[in-house]
Amino acid sequence: MTPAAQLRQLIDEGKLVTAPGAPDALTARLVEHAGFPAVYMTGFGATATRLGAPDVGLLTQTEMCAHARAMSQAVAVPVIADADTGYGGPNNIRRTVDEYVQAEVAAIHLEDQVAPKRCGQRAGIELVDAHTSARRLQAAVAARGERDLLIIGRTDGLPAVGEREAIDRANRYLDAGVDLVFVDGIKTVAEVEAVARHVAGPKVVSIVDGNETEKLSTYDLHELGFSVVLYAVTTLFAATHAISTALARLHDDGTPANVRPRHSYEAFSAIVDLDKYADFDETYSN
């Protein structure tokens, strides 16, 4: 079964697919090891780990696809990947779809921002007009053809033009033939409820650490009718905090002896499947 088929089956069964964000392939393995059914390749995290920079549209299509490919090869669960704006016009979108299909991701989301895009939680977002954006999504669906990839139409209209326009865009994108829609930039429980109430088709919600939506459990989101929930920055923020804390202790003590908590070498080796590689090498080495 392809990754897309795995994801589609979970959605068709009526389950809420919980997909924590992973900024890199190692974190994707941790997400899988923790028992989650899917991984979200966040552009926010990819930009941070590859460039040490903010999510302001700096990564190219080639870099994002390479990041997605590494992640999908590292895990057996479906990967939902950020594909930004599609990186250009209709033929660029077609190539983007081709590259992500070859990377064996399960789903991509394409957003309606003017390039260069920025993080959906920030102010100052500019949008492509709704008709053009819907046509771009139709191009993505046509480019996919019969190949197995879910297309998610994302709108960043909520912070840019308000709730009503964002919901109108989401419904227009469903009419354009995408598999799911995603209203990004949500910060309040009321906004989650409004999207749930007024967007009729399969939909994605992103819960961002630190805002009011943290109050909503996966049970709540399932009851509201969402198909997929993304936790885009939870692992990234936890990891950078843990690393900063460890480095501060190392700096102050001059030794890692008191850095806690931490993995042992053996525990880390299990995460990266060292035994599998060692066994293979021993079997076929001279």
What's the CATH code, domain 3-233?
Answer: 3.20.20.60
Mean pLDDT score, 243-248:
98
Q: Which residues of the chain does CATH 3.20.20.60 include?
A: 3-233
What lies within 8 Å, CB to CB, of 167 at 6+ separation is 183, 194, 195, 198, 199
35: left (phi over 0), alpha (psi -120 to 50) or beta: left
Say how many CA atoms lie within 13 Å of 144 toward its Cβ.
23
**Residue 41: which pLDDT band, with cuts at 50, 70 and 90?**
very high
Is the pLDDT confidence value at 121 over 60? Answer: no
Of 70-84, 106-120, 160-174, 184-198, least confident by mean pLDDT is 106-120
pTM: 0.95
44 pLDDT more than 80? yes
Average pLDDT over residues 258-283: 96
SS (H, E, C) 138-161: HHHHHHHCCCCCEEEEEECHHHHH
Whole-number average pLDDT of the chain: 95
Which residue, 239, 206, 238, 215, is CA-closest to 120?
Answer: 206
Portion of the chain with pLDDT greater than 90, in percent: 93
